[in-house]
Amino acid sequence: MSTRIDVRTDKAATRRFPRRYVVLAAIVLTLAAMSILEMITGAGDLTSSGTIAATMVATAPIMLAALGGLWSERAGIVNIGLEGMMILGTYGAGYFGYHYGAWAGVVGAIMMGMIGGLVHAVATVVFGIDHIISGVAINIIALGAVQYLASLTFVGLPGGGSTQSPKIPNVPSITIGPLRDALGTVEKQDLFVVSEAAALLRAMVTNLSSLVLIALLALVLSYVVLWRTSFGLRLRSCGESPAAAESLGIKVMRYKFVAVLISGGMAGLGGGFLAMVASSNYRDGQTGGRGYIGLAAMIFGNWRPSGLLAGSGLFGYTETLGLRQGGTSVHALLLALAVLALAAAVWQARQGLMRAAIISGSVAVAIGALYAAIDEVPGDFTRMTPYVITLLVLAFASQRLRMPAADGQIYRKGSAG
């Protein structure tokens, strides 16, 4: 990252509106855009409360994985083993959930994830080996370990086998009846923006799993701890400049170790969520690469809690659309993408970046032509959407991202000299 860009973002930060207005405006604008998009394309499922509820279920595990990434990378440890830690979490939820009840399953998922985190912490912090190598190894070990453990512990149980656990109890979910009905009527009215807002609220008071709430709580808590406490400041200083941190008397290794443990716990909880809420038992291959997606969501979100929420929301949303009559919905999103690219081209042209503007403009035209040419996006492509979006975002926005300065670097105790 060049200093020029840092200076510019700092200037922008001082001129910015209060944060809560920005967030509120973003939500209203998004809803308005979706409303218009629905009207133009006739794709009715883009903002139904059903879609939103499913989106929340799809988003939560990705967000938890992203939070796991946030904790460890803010302390300077790259954690590509999130996928493996999630896998361990799915097994933990299956085993402890079946034997000791739903909440034991949640705790079991977190514990199993933390075991993965422990391995990563020992390898990267204590032995100081390359973070990515350790992460890859953990992914291999975790996959083999749960397959081995599943055939050891689930075979012979009712409904269980070497690739899945018996059905596990779910954590309680919350419904506020009267509010749900009232909002349901508003949603059906087809009012511009209002209906969309009603659908959003309705999804939040209908059959909302308490694990979704816990996931949101984890997000808020992570923000408060990392940015509003001295513990968090010290932890982040280990990711920015461990040598400086150590010279100020911070126990760098200890902070890194704790951060990676919490990271594993978050990812494990994400895995547990997949087993308990998104499904009703542990299954082989349940994570489907969501650990990697979480990592991408965190990078997308510029190593910030609010950003990673937006990133995982985007992935959760496209994943949901892919499952619910995905063809037409993703087709409608193509139009939105084309308009966005066009807007980017205009903005870039006004900034004087002609080459970038021409590229964005041709992308806009290409997507627009694609929208006009086909009626429905085939299933294989709707499933690819989150990954393509990640690549595009990284390709076009990576200059604006700033990762912790010492992220991924191996730090040995006493290097401060």
Partner 1 sequence: MSQERLLRLGLAISAPLLALVAAFAITSLVLIAAGDPVGEVWSTILSVPASRNFANIVNNATVLYLSGIAVAVGFRMNLFNIGVDGQYRVAAFIAAVVAGEAWLPGHLNTVLAIAAAMLAGAMWAGIAGLLRATRGVSEVISTIMLNFIATGLVAYFLRKAAVRTPGSNTLATKEIPEGSRIPNISIGDGPGQDLYGFLVIAAVVGFAYWFLLNRTRFGFDLRATGQSGTAAVASGINVRRMTIAAMLISGAVAGLVGMPILFGSAYSYGSTFQSGLGFAGIAIALLGRNNPIGIAVGALLFAYLNEQSNPLQILVGVSPDIVAITQGTIVLTVVISYEVVRRFGIRLEQQAVARALTEPPPARPSSPNEEVSA
The footprint of partner 1 (CB under 8 A) covers 80, 119, 123, 127-130, 132-134, 136-145, 147-149, 151-152, 162, 289, 292, 295-296, 299, 378, 380-381, 383-384, 387-388, 390-391, 394-396, 398-399, 409-410, 412, 414-415, 417
Q: What are the structure tokens assigned to 338, written together?
A: 């084309």
Minimum gap (Å) between residue 196 Cβ and partner 1: 30
Which helix (DSSP H) or strand (DSSP E) does residue 209 occupy?
A: strand 208-209
The 3-state secondary structure of 70-86, one letter per residue = HHHHHCCCCCCCHHHHH
Minimum gap (Å) between residue 214 Cβ and partner 1: 28
Q: What is the DSSP letter of 274?
A: H
Q: How far is CA 27 from CA 34, 82, 91, 396, 408, in A?
A: 11, 29, 36, 23, 34
Rounded to whole angstroms, how far apart are CA atoms 391 and 185?
Answer: 40
Minimum gap (Å) between residue 143 Cβ and partner 1: 6
DSSP assignment string, 98-122: HHH-HHHHHHHHHHHHHHHHHHHHI
Minimum gap (Å) between residue 118 Cβ and partner 1: 13
SS3 content of the chain, % helix, strand, coil (to 5): 75, 0, 25
Minimum gap (Å) between residue 95 Cβ and partner 1: 13
Return the residue matching tokens 């489907």: 288
Minimum gap (Å) between residue 330 Cβ and partner 1: 12
Minimum gap (Å) between residue 206 Cβ and partner 1: 31
Q: What are the phi and psi torsion angles at 414 (to 5°)?
A: 90, 5
Which helix (DSSP H) or strand (DSSP E) does residue 174 occupy?
A: strand 173-174
Taking the least distance from each CB to partner 1, the nearer of 31 and 298 is 298
DSSP assignment string, 11-53: HHHHHPPPHHHHHHHHHHHHHHHHHHHHHHH--TTSS-HHHHH
